Amino acid sequence: MASAMLVALALTATACQAPLLPTTTDLALVHDRERIEQLLYLASTEPAPFNHRHRLEAALLLQNGGQRELAHQLLAEIEPIQLEDDDFATFTIQHAHLLLELDDTRGALRLLHQTRVSQILPQQPSQWYAEILMLRGYGEILNQQRSSALRALTLAEPLLPRASQTLLRQAIWELLIHTPREQLQELLDEPTQIVDPPTLRGWLELALLCRDYDSGPNQQVRRLTHWQQRWPNHPAALNPPPSAQLLAQPPPPLQSIALFLPLSGELAEIGTAVQNGVLAAWYADRAYNPEQPVALHIVDTGLEKDLAVAYQRVVATGVELVIGPLHRERLRTVLEQEQLQIPVLALNQIDDGDGSLPANSYQFGLNPSGEVQQIVATAKTREWRNALVFHPQREGAQELSDEFSTLWSNSAEEARVVDTVTYQNERRLSAMIEQSLLLHQSQQRSRTLRTVLGQRFHSEPRGRKDVDFVLLLSTPFIGRLLKPMLQFHRADDLPVLALSRIHDGRNDPKRNADLDGVLFPELPWLLEYSDLRTSVDALQDPPELQRMHALGSGAYRLAHWLPRMHTNRNLQLYGPTGLLRLDDNGRIQHRMSWATIHNGSPLALASRVALTPLTQALTASLRTK
| Residue 285 in this model has a pLDDT that exceeds 60 | yes
Q: Which of 108, 32, 21 is nearest to 70 (CA)?
A: 32
Q: Are residues 381 and 443 in the same domain?
A: yes
Note whether 116 and 88 are within 8 A (CB): yes
Q: Are residues 413 and 437 in the same domain?
A: yes
> What average pLDDT does the structure give for the chain?
85
Tell me which residue range forms the domain holding 338. 256-366+529-586
Q: Are residues 300 and 424 in the same domain?
A: no
DSSP collapsed to 3 states, 300-327: ECCCCCCHHHHHHHHHHCCCCEEECCCC
When pLDDT is averaged across residues 522-537 and rounded to a whole number, the result is 93
Q: Which of 265-274, 318-327, 502-511 has the lowest mean pLDDT?
A: 502-511
591 part of a folded domain = no
122 part of a folded domain = no
| Residue 555 in this model has a pLDDT that exceeds 50 | yes
Last residue of one domain, picked from the residues 522, 539, 554: 522
When pLDDT is averaged across residues 553-577 and rounded to a whole number, the result is 96
169 part of a folded domain = no
| Residue 10 in this model has a pLDDT that exceeds 80 | no
Q: How high is the pLDDT of residue 516? A: 93
CATH assignment of the domain containing 289? 3.40.50.2300
Q: Are residues 359 and 463 in the same domain?
A: no
For 175-231, write each residue's pLDDT tens digit: 999 999 999 999 888 876 555 678 999 999 999 999 999 998 999 999 999 999 999
47 part of a folded domain = no
Residues 6+ apart with CB under 8 A from 558: 345, 364, 573, 575, 580, 588
Q: Are residues 293 and 402 in the same domain?
A: no
Q: Are residues 392 and 511 in the same domain?
A: yes
Work out the percent of the chain whose per-residue pLDDT is above 70.
Answer: 87
For 365-409, write each residue's pLDDT tens digit: 998 999 999 999 999 988 899 999 988 888 889 999 999 999 999
92 part of a folded domain = no
What does 493-526 look like in DSSP terms, one character per residue? TS-EEE-GGG--S---HHHHGGGTT-EEEE-GGG
| Residue 14 in this model has a pLDDT that exceeds 50 | no
Q: Are residues 341 and 375 in the same domain?
A: no
288 against 140, higher pLDDT:
140
Work out the percent of the chain whose per-residue pLDDT is above 90.
Answer: 54
Q: Are residues 376 and 447 in the same domain?
A: yes
pTM: predicted TM-score of the whole model, two decimal places: 0.87
98 part of a folded domain = no
Q: Which of 500, 501, 481, 484 is nearest to 492 (CA)?
A: 484
Q: Which of 111-120, 339-348, 355-364, 422-431 has the lowest mean pLDDT?
A: 422-431
- Work out whether strand 593-598 and strand 601-604 pair parallel, antiparallel, or are unpaired: antiparallel
Q: Are residues 262 and 332 in the same domain?
A: yes
* pLDDT confidence band for 65 (50 / 70 / 90): confident
Q: How high is the pLDDT of residue 213? A: 94
For 144-158, write each residue's pLDDT tens digit: 999 899 999 999 999
Q: How high is the pLDDT of residue 3? A: 54
* pLDDT confidence band for 250 (50 / 70 / 90): very high
Last residue of one domain, picked from the residues 469, 501, 522: 522
Task: Say which DSSP state 47 is in.
Answer: P
For 566-590, write each residue's pLDDT tens digit: 999 999 999 999 999 999 999 999 8
What does 91-112 look like in DSSP terms, one character per residue? HHHHHHHHHHHTT-HHHHHHHH
| Residue 442 in this model has a pLDDT that exceeds 60 | no
Last residue of one domain, picked from the residues 522, 551, 574: 522
Q: Are residues 500 and 518 in the same domain?
A: yes
Q: Which of 566, 562, 593 is nearest to 577 (CA)?
A: 593
When pLDDT is averaged across residues 96-109 and rounded to a whole number, the result is 92
414 part of a folded domain = yes
Count CB atoms within 10 A of the CB of residue 432.
Answer: 18
| Residue 484 in this model has a pLDDT that exceeds 90 | no
* Counted domains in the chain: 3
* pLDDT confidence band for 60 (50 / 70 / 90): confident
Q: Are residues 414 and 435 in the same domain?
A: yes
Q: Are residues 374 and 495 in the same domain?
A: yes
46 part of a folded domain = no
**CA pair distance 59, 36, nearest whole angstrom:** 8
Q: Half-sphere exposure (CA, 13 Å, Cβ side) for 246?
A: 28
446 against 232, higher pLDDT:
232
481 against 441, higher pLDDT:
481
Q: How high is the pLDDT of residue 544? A: 82
